[in-house]
Structure 1
Amino acid sequence: MPVNNNKIDMIAILKARKNLNRGTWITTCGISMNPLIPQGSKVYINPVASGIRVGDVVVFGLEGNLLIHRVVRLYTENSSVYYQTKGDNVFYLDPVINESNIMGCVEKIHTTPSDGAIFALHNGILARVIAGISLFEGKIHRLSCSEVLFIRPMLICMKYILKSLILMCSYLMKMKSERHCTRGMTNGV
């Protein structure tokens, strides 16, 4: 999900706040994390340095863009940690990134300015289920773009079924989190 600010300035600001270990609120644009993070939501970014797990929603810089996507896989190579990310509402997997690309984790989401509700984002079992299905969906999408004609319709159907499961789980995650939401905005939102 792209972020609604001057991209280069926002990346520099988030890097500086990460170095100071200070979180910040930013406003999103785009629909790649719907329904969990609708377009125009404010998200609180916690500048974590380590401990990112599969299922976490992270903010990262990639090719001059600032994105908010879910970690669907992580692995270690030559003592470096690498992350595979993907938006809940898109079919493709993002390029693999390393820890230096990550500005922080989404910790809180404010989706509706009219009621002032904020809900905390927790990486529970549902987040990891979404990540697993999302990773599989990304692999099916890649296959559906390259496979022979007679298999392609089945793969396309399969990826839409997986997308439905992801969106349903994301919606359930949002509903569960909103039950425990707080009223009123803090930290300058």
Structure 2
Amino acid sequence: MAEGLTEVDDLVVEDGTIVAGANSYNTLAAITAYATLRQDTYALAWLEADESNQVAAAIIATDFMDKRWCFTSTITDVGTDVLAAQDLEWPRFSQYDSRGVLIDDDEIPEWITDAHSEYAVRAIDTTTFLAKALQVDLVTQDESGRFIKETFEQVGPLREQIKYSDSKATRKTPDYGNADNILRNSGLVVLGAGSMAIRG
């Protein structure tokens, strides 16, 4: 992520009141406080990153969470038109967590803010301290439709080698460690779900 592309004013935090244009579940200060307490490799990279890349990473983390996870409740209530106005997957209605606690309809639970912080620090490259994508990796195909398992290129003398897979392509979602585990243990997501979310 090039410096200067995003600014702190570009970050719009959802606080549970269905904020127009919301693109994050946390402020930069909240993510920084979370990272400061943990001091692991990813947290330290977040602390080294400039504000512009932190903003981008927070937005990337929100996009990834909302696309990857299928939540177990809906964002709409009977007789309301929240769906048309709500930009993010939270807040939600009639949601219980894994401890049986009912989450208020205007609340962003700690499960979500903690997972978001974890994904945000993972969206900072640990070498360059620049924002990077969090994504589902797909097995690539060549022009004939064969699935590429591995490629090798050599500069001189020119040589290219391609290994093909015998099986069909599968979606491979990278493991994001604690970020994934927070949501898996929360009771808020459908386990085994991919990128489809229940919106009402």
When normalised by structure 2's length, the TM-score is 0.27
Compare relative contact order (CA 8 Å, sep 6+) and give the higher one, 1 or 2: 2
